[in-house]
Structure 1
Amino acid sequence: MKWFKRIALLLLVFIGIVFYVNHKKLTMISGYAAKYMVSSVLIANHVPDSVKAIDLDAPLIKLADVNYNHSKKEATANVYGLQNRKAIFRTGLGGALVPDDFKSSKTYIRPNRNQHFDSIAYPYGHLPPKDSTFKEIDYDQLSMAMAQVFSDPEIQKTRTALVLYKGHLIAERYADGFNANTPILGWSMTKSLLATCFGILEHQGKIEVNWPAPITEWKDDTRKNITLNHLLRMQSGLAWEEDYTKISDVTQMLFLDNDMTIAQKNKEAIAKPGEIWNYSSGTTNLLSGILRQQFRNYQDYLDFPYAEFLDKIGAHSFLIETDLAGNFVGSSYGWASTRDWARVGQLYLDNGVWNGEELFDKNWITYITRPTANSNGTYGGQFWLNSKGDYPDVPKDLYSMNGYQGQHVYIIPSKNLVIVRTGLAERPDYDANAFLSMVAAAVVE
């Protein structure tokens, strides 16, 4: 009996140690599952069982037991009954994880949307795309490219793909359960949207990218030398760990923090501004907080990305989710249909001009496509670059909006192409070089 008690005590101690070591990880796993579920159901209109079976069937995440409550419009999740998390939905603001003591009766300010519908063909308006043909397009080659990106569906896991040429829709395909109106979570493609807001403000004469970052907490130390340019280029020199496979700065920010603008702001400097390049979702959310400072009131901040950018180009399906503190989660949480993601690419291909109105200066594109020092030519200003041939068989002037699990908007100016691909797999499972090179080869001018 004495030995039994000792063994039982040792077992309890062991369980306690395991829980202590892993409780934060379990909290983030259940948080991911709950947040993804509520947003997928209420933004993208996905069926909860499908979200469970497909989207959440990923390493560690599939350990979560997640449930969606239709009447309350909320999702809950836990791992083996531990670390229960809840996510709610706020109209116009999207989903958010909430603490246990959260009061659900709270009301929210939401963005004002001017969702006008232009009576011209897509992508510049909302009428059906023109049935256009171009003598310089090899349509057989284009069809092979679209077949390629949807091949090996259990490996590449492509969901949607679309090609615009000279502002005309020339190819489009959707996996079962998706269509031209289905909102897609862009993950880190949202960083490029947030950066575009700064490009618009600069064009309006309200900011300059070389201004010091307006962070009061930095005024008495070396961080005071960090500029908006350093932040846009991920060159702040601040410590940050961007690792989604473990407890890291980024996973704690996304799944534990109510205010996601703070995490990067509180980090120490590990290098001088400009000395190193370090990809950081925390930096983009810090920029979201800085964006908020540019407006007299919260309503103006909420309205700005839509009023001055997304709704102006007719991309009305867009929703950029906010954290509980009301900040746009510019690092990760932008949703839109594949066609509307393509509109953003077309705006860049057209040098910031939309139906005759200049939203940002063409020099902004020069800025965001200039390679950032120490990024090995792969990064500009919240956009990714092919300047060093990361995609070896694709034109080097390609630049792109990239997101987790292979969300992409590619712009190839030399070919007059905008290409969108979304899915649940990244390179090398998704063969981006093959798809892009085949599409580019279809333009034979």
Structure 2
Amino acid sequence: MKKFLKLFALVLVLAFLYFGFTTYPKLDLISGFSAKSIASGHFIDHRSKELIEKTDNDIKMITLATNTINDAGKFAASTVYGFKERKAIYREGLGATLINDDYDIAKPYLLPKRTKLENNLSFPYGNKEPKDTMFSNVDYTKLKKAVDGSFDAAGEKVKRTRAVVILYKDKLIAEKYDTGFNKNSKILGWSMTKSITSSAFGVLARQRKIDIYKPAPIAEWQNDDRKIITTNDLLHMNSGLEWEEDYTKICDATEMLFQAEDMGKVQLDKPAKFKPNTHWYYSSGTTNLLCRILRSQFKTQQEYLDFWYSAVIDKIGMNSMIVEQDMSGIFVGSSYAWATARDWSKFGLLYLHKGNWNGEQVLDESWVKYTATPTNTSKGAYGAQFWLNVGGKFPDAPRDMFYCDGYQGQMVAIIPSLDLVIVRMGVDKAGPGFDFNEFLKEVISSIKK
């Protein structure tokens, strides 16, 4: 018996040590991801905790979290085996913010001033229901098959598409939602938010309030070799700054999103690893640094908050959109914009029409061309906070396609040569699940040129 007890104790010690070395350091990130996801999904889109756990948080390791929602206090909290409790608070108009123990939830905060698009027009240029439109060159049977085929059959959990919206020649030609979702459901765009950030810079450039080709206005860089990095370098993600983005482990990106108070400062503090414009690599930290730079262009926090919405989001009627903040009050422009699939399609339409929205030039045509021009060393894969198909990532889609892309398979595809915008929102994007190339191919083939 003593031998057995000793062996049992040894196994317990080894198990504890294994847990300590492999899992415990990740607990902050696990509970942080879970609390933020629960708070945003519940308070922004009114989803139940059970639905979020089954459809948003069913990710390896994240399922270890135990979650609670406090509707009266408007927050969600998560722990892992009772350890590392993290909390995300919700504020109407700002969405959810993951906070730490030092955050003062009682301190006053500002809200962005919003304006709702009021006109008598149908979607997409207004908020009335879209008019039925039939195009003789569209094979609607084939299109329906392509759209239906992108969703799971009842009881399946493979393709995991939540919404598809397709615009052709400014008209809605296809729309479908998964069970539990509809035209009013707000869905997180993840890294599609980066393209929203780029658009804010596009408006500032149009207003001649910023010159992106000048060194980035960052005081902390003026006494070292980072002083030559331009805003253009940051927009193109080829600044040469050190960064690691690997969501399978603890890295710069995960620590930024789930631990940092000031997310933009994480990239700001990184040293230069290469000369600017010589090495392209993907960095959410760079985008959040750009959000910090945007804040520096305004005298007050209120002006900064209002600008994002008045300049682009509300200007084109994306009234469902909410961009969330970090603890410092800066928008998390790398990852945290929520909107309906219809409103995401409006954003695609703005770029399809070279920055023109129903007769008003919101962005210069040159800016749209700039965003869709390949970044040096990206091999035709990336522009200015937009992904490109120049290099043929999707071989069955036109090479002029450029797109917003987000974690778990969010996409707004813009195809100028076909006058087409395709939106797909989901929770899977590759492998045996959802095949983007096949989906794009099938949709495109339903439209005869």
| TM-score where L is the length of structure 1 | 0.96
Aligned mate of 1:220, from 206, 220, 223? 223
Aligned mate of 2:292, from 289, 294, 306? 289
Give how far 1:318 is off. Answer: 0.4
Map 1:239-388 to 2 at 5 A.
Answer: 239-388=242-391
What CA deviation, in whole Å up to 9, does each residue of 1:293-315 have, x standing for no partner? 11111100000110111111111
Residue 126 of structure 2 is matched in structure 1 by: 125
Asked whether the 8 Å contact 2:117–2:126 carries over to 1, the reply is no
Q: Please say if 1:434 is aligned against 2:438.
A: yes
Give how far 1:24 is off. Answer: 2.9
Give how far 1:7 is off. Answer: 8.6
Runs of 5+ consecutive residues of structure 2 not aligned to the other structure: none
Aligned mates of 1:160, 1:174 — CA distance in 2: 4
Q: Please say if 1:399 is aligned against 2:397.
A: no
Asked whether the 8 Å contact 1:90–1:108 carries over to 2, the reply is no
RMSD: 1.9
Give how far 1:94 is off. Answer: 1.2
Letter aligned with residue 93 of structure 1 = L
| Aligned length in residues | 445
Residue 29 of structure 1 is matched in structure 2 by: 30
Aligned mates of 1:20, 1:143 — CA distance in 2: 50
Residue 190 of structure 2 is matched in structure 1 by: 187
Aligned mates of 1:98, 1:109 — CA distance in 2: 17
Asked whether the 8 Å contact 1:313–1:354 carries over to 2, the reply is yes
Asked whether the 8 Å contact 1:115–1:314 carries over to 2, the reply is yes
Aligned mates of 2:211, 2:135 — CA distance in 1: 41
What CA deviation, in whole Å up to 9, does each residue of 1:330-380 have, x standing for no partner? 000000000000000001111111122111111111111111122121111
Q: Please say if 1:15 is aligned against 2:11.
A: no
Instruction: Spell out structure 1 runs of 4+ moving beyond 6 A.
Output: 1-7
Aligned mates of 2:202, 2:59 — CA distance in 1: 36
Question: The residue matched to 2:263 in structure 1 has which SS?
Answer: coil
Letter aligned with residue 256 of structure 2 = M
Give how far 1:143 is off. Answer: 1.1
Question: The residue matched to 1:261 in structure 2 has which SS?
Answer: helix
Q: Please say if 1:444 is aligned against 2:445.
A: no
The percentage of counterpart residues that share the same residue type is 47
Residue 107 of structure 1 is matched in structure 2 by: 108
Aligned mates of 2:26, 2:149 — CA distance in 1: 37
Letter aligned with residue 143 of structure 1 = K
| TM-score where L is the length of structure 2 | 0.95
Letter aligned with residue 78 of structure 2 = A
Question: The residue matched to 2:45 in structure 1 has which SS?
Answer: coil
Which one is further off, 348-357 or 399-408?
348-357
Give how far 1:106 is off. Answer: 2.3
Give how far 1:111 is off. Answer: 0.3
Which one is further off, 152-161 or 100-109?
100-109
Question: The residue matched to 1:162 in structure 2 has which SS?
Answer: strand
Asked whether the 8 Å contact 2:203–2:363 carries over to 1, the reply is yes
Closer, same or farther in 2 for the Cα pair 1:132/1:14, shift >3 Å? closer
Letter aligned with residue 135 of structure 2 = F
